[in-house]
Amino acid sequence: MQGIEDLLQKYFSIKVIIEVLPFLLKGALLTIIFSASSEFFGIIIGLVASVIRVSKTKVISWFIIAYVDIFRGTPLLMQIIFTYYALPYVGINLPAPLAGIVALSLNSGAYVSEIFRAGIESIEKGQLEAARSLGMSYIQTMRYVIIPQTIRRVLPPLTNELVALIKDSSLLSVIAIAELLRTSKEMMTWKLNPSSLTAAAIIYLIITLPLTRLVGYLEKKLKKGES
Amino acid sequence: MIKTVDLHKKFGHLHVLKGINLEVNKGEVMVIIGPSGSGKSTLLRCINLLEDATSGRIYLEDQEITSPGINKNKVRQRIGMVFQGFNLFPHMTALGNVTIALIKVLKMRKEQAKHIGVKLLTKVGLKDKIDSYPSQLSGGQKQRVAIARALAMNPDAMLFDEVTSALDPELVKEVLDVMKDLARSGMTMLVVTHEMGFAKEVASHVIFMDEGLIVEEGLASEIFEHPKHPRTKTFLDAVLY
């Protein structure tokens, strides 16, 4: 039974957890701020990118494809490091929080653009034709007919993307942003006890679980609405 | 009103329209019949510029709408189209469907658009459904909303692409009745349909198309009762009996 006592003492020390909790909550707040703002900008980037992509405007589409390929095909950690440490050499000096949001938003935008593209392409072609036959321009058709229908369909995958982003934002710890994971690691060193990691894990779950449940609910509702 | 001159359309190697010459005068109802794959729908879609003709010209009034610099959106505002699959916007009410183009394309004030929308939905017999969403409507009701939606732009001509083909038999009549009223009110119409009764009753002209060509053209009574071409005969025998 010695093993279990050690485990409890090391990873589940209530005393330590209570002591570090205020710091962790601050970290959690940063995690939420960073992921929410990156999701926000990611959606704007992704929406614009996907609309350009499906419009089949050749040259810009290639840029979009290259962007999506690069940001989905390389590690996010690398993108964060490049944004913060490499960009200053070309004269772009971003403070760490801004560099973090830029890197996360661009990364998220690449994924979101694919989500939107799939969503737009899932709308029946007849919708576009009906709108165009009324004299609507391509932009008007997208704005009033296609995108509103797309948003309903992509809400579940977008929420999933937000969950992924919340976890991925922990990578910002490499550029010294005191989000939840970094804070909990610092607390671990301070208290010489890793219970703060456990506490951080629970906080991550408290943030993400409602979101993953929301996805399930949205999917069910969507299915009902379309039948 | 609408005239096509030597109209061709190719999809890759597939030659769908092989030189169509037709003319619909103002107030006329032209019915296009023919076996599936004969190019009827493609013809309508070319006229509405949903497809670019490969060669040939299309005129609306005296304006060539196939010329390169043409504003397609402006042309489409003048030609209404109703589709086999309704294509109503599912996130808008019946009234929303009918008024969206008025508000966003013509920049009409909402109250004015609503006034027109209610008038048109009343005309197609759906006054009590203005706030219903497409999912709450039957197929026949959906198609009548679609007709009202196309009429809202006050078009010079209307194109109907097999608009009753996706309907349950008992719902066909309510849609055809709306179309008959429209024909009697003097609307210029191009109608692709298999409803021979409708064609006999309201068509000024009937065109029989096969394999991308107009095989036979004439008054409804001539074509239906005394088809000259053997292919027309074969088709009518198959459809009517």
3-state SS record for chain B: CEEEEEEEEEECCEEEEEEEEEEECCCCEEEEECCCCCCHHHHHHHHCCCCCCCEEEEEECCEECCCCCCCHHHHHHHEEEECCCCCCCCCCCHHHHHHHHHHHCCCCCHHHHHHHHHHHHHHCCCHHHCCCCHHHCCHHHHHHHHHHHHHHCCCCEEEEECCCCCCCHHHHHHHHHHHHHHHHCCCEEEEECCCHHHHHHHCCEEEEEECCEEEEEECHHHHHHCCCCHHHHHHHHHHHC
DSSP A123: S
Mean local confidence (pLDDT), A37-63: 92
Residue B190's identity, in one-letter code, is L
A152 to chain B: closest CA residue: B91
Predicted pLDDT at A227: 40
ipTM score for this prediction? 0.92
Helix axes B94-104, B139-152, angle to 10 degrees: 20
CB contact (8 A) between residue A134 and residue B150: yes
**For range A193-198, the mean pLDDT:** 93
Residues B205 and B1 sit within 8 Å (Cβ to Cβ): no
Residue A19's pLDDT is: 92
Which residues of chain A are within 8 Å of residue B87 when distances are taken between CB atoms? 124, 126-127, 129-130
pLDDT in tens, A138-191: 999 999 999 999 988 999 999 999 999 999 999 999 998 999 999 999 999 999
Task: Compute the average pLDDT of residues A78-86.
Answer: 95
pTM of the model: 0.85
Give yes or no for a contact between B217 and B208, defined as CB atoms under 8 angstroms apart.
yes
- At B179-233, the pLDDT tens digits run 999 999 999 999 999 888 898 889 999 999 999 999 999 998 889 889 999 999 9
- Of all residues in chain A, the percent with pLDDT exceeding 70 is 98
Q: Do B73 and A135 touch (CB under 8 A)?
A: yes
Residue type, B43: L
- The verdict on a CB contact (< 8 Å) between A144 and B100 is yes
User: A127: which chain B residues are within 8 Å (Cβ-Cβ)?
Assistant: 87, 89
Residues A100-152: pLDDT tens digits?
Answer: 999 999 999 999 999 999 999 999 999 999 999 999 999 999 999 999 999 88
Q: What is the distance between the terminal CA atoms of chain B, rounded to a whole angstrom?
A: 35
Taking 50 as the threshold, does the pLDDT of residue B96 lie above it? yes
Give the sheet arrangement for strand B63-64, strand by strand. B14-24, B2-11, B55-60, B63-64
Tell which wins on pLDDT, B157 or B36.
B157
Helix/strand/coil for A17: helix
